[in-house]
Amino acid sequence: MRKLIIAFALICAGGLAHAQSGNDMRTLQDDRGRTVSIPENPKRIVVLQEPILGVPILELGRDIVGSYGRNDDGSSMLRVDFIQSVLGKDGKALGIGGIGPIGNLDLEKLRALKPDLIIGGESDEDKADLLSSVAPVYLQNIRTPDITGFITQQKLADLLGAQQQYQALWDGYQKQIEDVRAHLPGNPDGKTYMAVIIHDTINMVTNKSGAVQAIEDLGYHRLEIDGTGKASGYGQGFSVPLSSEQFARLNPDLLIVMNSYVSADRSEETIRKRLDVIVPGWNRFLRPEKEGRIVFVDSVKVSTPTIASARHTLDAISDWAASR
């Protein structure tokens, strides 16, 4: 009899959980070909890639309750805080809990957050079965060649029913594009750009970020460089290596330069000092520097696949144009 009572209680509990979360479920296929049932209107989302998935979701006006790289109080474990830098929001105030250091999942902390949806990328596919024991897991492609610019954020808007919010962000962005274009020193159509990020080496930024989306929406097109080509410059991650010799020969109409996003100091002064080490004398022979065609930007602010990152880029370009 006792076993029957316990079994009945478990069935009732399962039925209650289904009633709370299952009445408004929908079944769909994620980008990895997995069939998954998710809430129509998820309220407790955990992301496994905060800059690429969490920041776009927050800009769309949706909440997240957890991610890698956060302490229990919502503060960042890292030197940088993408949510604060890109959106001006405080992880503590938003109540975002941590699920462990990046790449080191704490399953107990994840369960404690009681998520109703977990969103990850391709690299999280090997953990999907384990994570599904906690909540439905939706895997979205974020690094495949077809994912560029704002596509990640657009797809998240479709997934979460935030199309109107995305459209409002897009409309405001288009107005800023028109305003910045009107104040550039010349028509950008047909002119070239190059964006680089300085780590221990110089790397060419590909088209995965809001930064590059903004530059290309202004009308610039990427300078082709011998030895890289379109295949290596597009759709292969955030950046690809560029040799010091290639950098020294760069002469785009607009050169965007940023310091590594793991660096605590991403100021123009620090970038210049870093370039002095990697390419001694660069400021004496690099034509964009000599002719005032360099824009320095904060990599943390501009590197996410969001409209917010694109607008930070437009702000920097607008300031540069005003100083010419």
C-alpha span between 283 and 87 (Å, rounded): 33
pLDDT at 264: 83
Residue 78 in tokens: 């890292």
- Residue 137 Cα distances to 11, 42, 54, angstroms: 24, 12, 15
| Residue 312, φ and ψ in degrees, nearest 5 | -60, -40
Q: CA distances (Å), 46 to each of 116, 120, 302, in order? A: 8, 9, 23
Mean pLDDT value across the chain: 90
Q: Report the pLDDT value the prediction gives residue 324, as an integer from 0 to 100.
A: 86
- Chain segment 250-299, per-residue pLDDT in tens: 999 999 999 998 888 899 999 999 999 999 999 999 999 999 999 999 99
Average pLDDT over residues 208-234: 80
Please tell me the predicted confidence (pLDDT) of residue 8: 36
Rounded-to-integer distance, Cα 48 and Cα 58, Å: 14
Predicted TM-score (pTM) of the model is 0.89
Check whether 22 has a pLDDT greater than 70: no
pLDDT band at 228 (very low <50, low <70, confident <90, very high): low
pLDDT band at 87 (very low <50, low <70, confident <90, very high): very high
pLDDT at site 12 = 40
Q: Are 288 and 251 in contact (CB under 8 A)?
A: yes
Please give the CATH superfamily to which domain 184-323 belongs: Nitrogenase molybdenum iron protein domain (3.40.50.1980)
Closest Cα partner for 53 from 160, 133, 145?
Answer: 160
Residue 88, SS3? coil
Res 94: pLDDT = 95
Fold: same for 21-142 and 184-323: yes
Q: Which fold has domain 21-142?
A: Rossmann fold (3.40.50)
Q: In sequence order, what are the residues at sequence separation of 6 or more whose Cβ sits closer than 8 angstroms to the Cβ of residue 91?
A: 70, 74, 75, 76, 81, 83, 84
Round to whole Å and give the CA distance between 133 and 143. 26
Query: Domain residues of the chain, as ranges?
Result: 21-142, 184-323
- pLDDT one-digit tens code per residue, 114-165: 999 999 999 999 999 999 999 999 999 999 999 999 999 999 999 999 999 9
Let me know: does 320 contact 314? Beta carbons within 8 Å. no
Given a cut of 80, is residue 230 above it in pLDDT? no
